Amino acid sequence: MLTIEDLQSITLERQGLRYDASFGSGKDAVYQSLEQLGYLQIDTLSVVERAHHHTLWTRIPDYETSYLDELLEERQIFEYWFHAASYLPMQDFRFALPQMLEVRDNDSHYYNADSKVMRYIIDTIRAEGPKRARDFETQAKKSGSWWNWKPAKIALERLFLQGDLMISRREGMQKTYDLPERVLPEAIDLTIPTPREFASYLVKTYLNAYGWTTLKQILHLKTGETIRNDVRDVLSDLLEEGIIESIHIKGYPPVFVRYDLLGATAGISTPEIRLLSPFDNAIIHRDRVKQFFDFDYRIECYTPKEKRLYGYFCLPILFGNTFIGRVDCKAHRKQKQFEIIHLHLENQLIEFESWAKPFAERIKQFVLFNGCTSLKVSQVSPSNKTTKLRKLLEGLF
C-alpha cells in the first residue's frame, strides 16, 4: 500500500527535484525537462530571476537563460497558454488549436480588438516580415496615424491568442511576432484534436509530469460536462488497461498512479535543498501541495501589503520531501546585492544542523544566478535562529 511519503517521492522524482541534474545538462536538458513537465510558465515579475528561468535553474545546475530563446528560434518549443502563458513542446502544438478556435469564435470572453487594426498588423507582417510590438508602437506615434498604441497592443494579443500570429523569437521579455506558416515546422501535425483526444492529452501530461494525479488537478480551470466526462472515460480506460492504478488513502481524495512507478518509492538518502519559484510546476497546484505535502502556500505579491503574512515574493524551501519554510527575497541588481528580506522557518522538527549548510550553499548559488555578488540578511523567524543564520549566510561572500 502506498503512503503519502511514497506519493511525495514519486512526484519529486518526476519533477526533477530529487537529484541534481535529473534531466542532464545544457540545452538538451532544458528540452527534456520541458517535455516531461509538459509546460513552463512564463512570468514577467523580476524581483528575483523570472519564473521560467528560475524553474529550469532549479533542475539544471548549468542552466543559461539563453537556452529557452535558442529552443524557441529552433522551433523545438512554442509559446501559448496552458493554465497561464507558457512555453510548450512543439510536438504538442495541435492541442493548443481548440483554444485558438475558441478565441477566434468568441468575442465576448476575450480581447475586443479592432478588426481594422488586426488586418493592418497581419498585412504588415506578411509584407515586411516579423515585427516586435514596439514597431507598431512607433508606427502609431507617427503624425497622421489613424490609430494609437492601445488598440494595436490589444490586436496583437488577440491575434496571438487566436493563432493568427506566433512568437518567433524573444529578447528578454521583448517578443517578435510572425505568421504561423513561417514559424511552424513543415511536418507539424495540425489536426484539431477531438474532445476525447484533448482529455487524453491532459491526463497523460499530468501523469507524465507528476507520476500521479487527481481528478481536480486534471480539470484545473476546465469547465463543462464534456471535458469532465471525457477525462473520466480516459481514466477508466487507463485503469482497465493496467496503465494506472487508483489509490485510496483515508482522508485524501482518490489518486491515479502510473503502474510502472508503483515500485519507485525509495526514500531520499541525502535530502537536497530546493528554492522554488512561486510559479514552479511542483508548487503551482496549491490545493494539491496543501493536501499531500501539508504546505499552505500562496503568493502574496497581489495581496495588499498590510494583509501579507510572509512577504511580497516568498520562495518555498523544499528539503527532501518536506517544505521547511519560505524566504522573501529581492535581487538589487544595480547594487549587485541580494537581500533576504525575511526568512520564515516553519518546520521545527527537522534539526537545524541537517539543513542549514545545504541551505546556505543553495542560497549562494541562487545569489550568483541572480547576478549578485553580496548577500544581506534582514530578518529571520523564529528570531532565535537569526544570529547563526546571518553569520552562516553573510559569510558566504
Tens-binned pLDDT, residue by residue, of the chain (397 aa): 889 999 999 999 999 999 889 999 999 999 999 999 999 999 999 999 999 999 999 999 999 999 999 999 999 999 999 989 999 999 999 999 999 999 998 876 566 888 899 999 999 999 999 999 888 876 655 655 545 657 888 899 999 999 999 999 998 888 999 999 999 999 999 999 999 999 999 999 999 999 999 999 999 989 999 999 999 999 999 999 999 999 999 999 999 999 999 976 655 567 899 999 999 999 999 999 999 999 999 999 999 999 999 999 999 999 999 999 999 999 999 999 999 999 999 987 788 889 999 999 999 999 999 999 999 999 999 998 889 999 999 888 8
Tell me how many degrees the CA angle 87-336-383 measures, rounded to the nearest 5.
95
Do 301 and 313 touch, CB atoms closer than 8 A?
Answer: yes
Number of Cβ within a 10 Å radius of residue 46:
16
Burial class (CB in 10 A: 0-12, 13-18, 19+), 173: exposed
Q: What CATH architecture applies to the domain 4-64+193-261? A: Orthogonal Bundle (1.10)
CATH 3.40.630 range(s) for the chain read: 273-394
| DSSP secondary structure letter of residue 306 | G
pTM to 2 decimals?
Answer: 0.94
Please give the distance of CA 296 from its chain centroid, rounded to a whole number.
18
Specify whether the CB–CB gap between 283 and 316 falls below 8 A: yes
16 and 272 in contact (C-beta within 8 Å)?
no
Cell numbers 524573444: residue: 170
> For position 248, what pLDDT does the model report?
95
| Residue 83 near residue 218, CB atoms below 8 Å | no
285-291 CB contacts, 8 Å cutoff, 24+ apart:
285/217, 285/220, 287/216, 288/214, 288/216, 288/217, 289/323, 291/252, 291/253
What pLDDT, on the 0 to 100 scale, is given for residue 146? 47
Which class does domain 273-394 fall in? alpha beta
Q: Look at residue 41 in the predicted model and tell me its pLDDT.
A: 97
**How far apart, in whole angstroms, are the C-alpha atoms of residue 217 and residue 72?**
28
Q: Tell me whether the omega of the peptide bond preceding residue 61 falls within 30 degrees of 0, making it cis.
A: no
CATH 1.10.10.10 maps onto the chain at 4-64+193-261
pLDDT value of residue 148: 61
If you write DSSP's letter for every residue of 112-136 in order, what string do you get?
---HHHHHHHHHHHHHH--EEHHHH
In the sheet that holds 131-132, the strands lie side by side as 131-132, 174-178, 166-171
Q: Which residues pair with 169 in a beta bridge?
A: 176
**Residues 67, 74: Cα–Cα separation, whole Å:** 10
